[in-house]
Amino acid sequence: MDISIIIVNYRGWKALAECLESIEIIISKTFTFEVIIVDNFSKEGQFPVFKQKYSKFTFIENNGNNGFSNGCNFGANIASGNHFLFLNPDTKLTLRALETLLETTVSHPEIGILSCLQINENKVFYKQNNLFPALGRFFGISRSLYRKLNKAKLEKRFNNNNDLFYPDWVTGAVIFISREWFNKIKGWNEDYWLYFEDVDLCKKVCNLGGKVAVTRKATIFHQHGGASRLNVKTKALTKTEVIISKHVYISDQFSTGIQLYLHTLLILGVLSEKLFLSLLSVFLFFIPKLKVNRLMLKNLSVYYLNALRKQTWISPRAMNYLKTKA
């Protein structure tokens, strides 16, 4: 088997149906592929329906909503392909994209992770000039300042006409990696429940001398926010996990002194912001978005108390946290 396409789903059935329909029409005479869908225990009754409707694909149900990293690793463990394509359910795949990803990876063994251009429903291409978080550009203001000060250098790096360009990391929505590289970096890091796991994956490849690349010779449709448009409570949860994953990344990637500095700035910044917006929401209760901040303040308070008590930054939802309790 040449390629195993691995899709992790959680209650994104409508988008998943469109994704699978785009894959169903792909026929290749030059390579073989399989499709594995890992459902993170959506519990909506759709799993058996999809399993029957798309019977030529492999469906496996996880034992809980164990996070994106765990779902990807779960799928990879049963995959038989020499290459893995980790694909979001809110994307649409084409034969051209699949061929290009495979051909480019084979002809460029120095590339550990490959992605391609992504376009949304408004015909807007996603920006993929991603840089690894660093001491001088970890937060929004410092990151913007860094990009302004290094504008010419970054434009030369990303705004060329070459078939390939090389960001520090690519989004987990479209990640093509050989089995050899996947085994070398020991898969996805299950310290992360959601967010920053793709940054971590690319960092591991770069640390071992591999390159992260994007090919301009292929484009995949990726619906903007298609897998995460849920209710206020869910939005607060996912936004909280963004903050938690930042703490995990800091603890995994920086020295002790820098960790202390970044953790402190992040805690002070996010708590002061959420406290202010939560107080504001009392008076502007008719603005639903402000309610998200109250829920985030509650979630983060619980998280920080737990982190202090358990001496770990890992999200209580992440599999590596749950393994420490076992």
Domain check: are 216 and 237 in the same one?
no
CB of 191 closer than 8 Å to CB of 245: no
pTM (2 decimals)?
A: 0.95
Which token pair is 134?
Answer: 């660093």
Number of domains in the chain: 2
Domain check: are 203 and 272 in the same one?
no
How many residues are recorded in the chain?
326
Give the pLDDT of residue 322: 79
Q: Compute the C-alpha angle 37/38/39, nearest 5°.
A: 110
Domain check: are 112 and 71 in the same one?
yes
Domain check: are 204 and 152 in the same one?
yes
Query: Phi and psi (nearest 5°) for 37?
Result: -110, 120
Give the pLDDT of residue 207: 97
Domain check: are 112 and 169 in the same one?
yes
Q: Which domain holds residue 78?
A: 3-222
pLDDT in tens, the chain (326 residues): 999 999 999 999 999 999 999 999 999 999 999 999 999 999 999 999 999 999 999 999 999 999 999 999 999 999 999 999 999 999 999 999 999 999 999 999 999 999 999 999 999 999 999 999 999 999 999 999 999 999 999 999 998 889 999 999 999 999 999 999 999 999 999 999 999 999 999 999 999 999 999 999 999 999 976 544 458 888 899 999 999 999 999 999 999 999 999 999 999 999 999 999 999 887 777 777 788 999 999 999 999 999 999 999 999 999 999 776 65
Domain check: are 56 and 21 in the same one?
yes
Which token pair is 281?
Answer: 């929401």
Tell me if 227 is assigned to some domain: no
Domain check: are 218 and 237 in the same one?
no
How far is Cα 28 from Cα 30, in angstroms, rounded to an integer? 6
Give the pLDDT of residue 290: 84
Give the pLDDT of residue 234: 87
Task: From 167, 188, 222, give the residue that closes a domain.
Answer: 222
Tell me if 63 is assigned to some domain: yes
Query: Phi and psi (nearest 5°) for 91?
Result: -120, 170
What CATH number has the domain bearing residue 11? 3.90.550.10
Domain check: are 185 and 289 in the same one?
no
Task: From 222, 256, 282, give the residue that closes a domain.
Answer: 222
Tell me if 305 is assigned to some domain: yes
Domain check: are 199 and 237 in the same one?
no
Domain check: are 29 and 154 in the same one?
yes
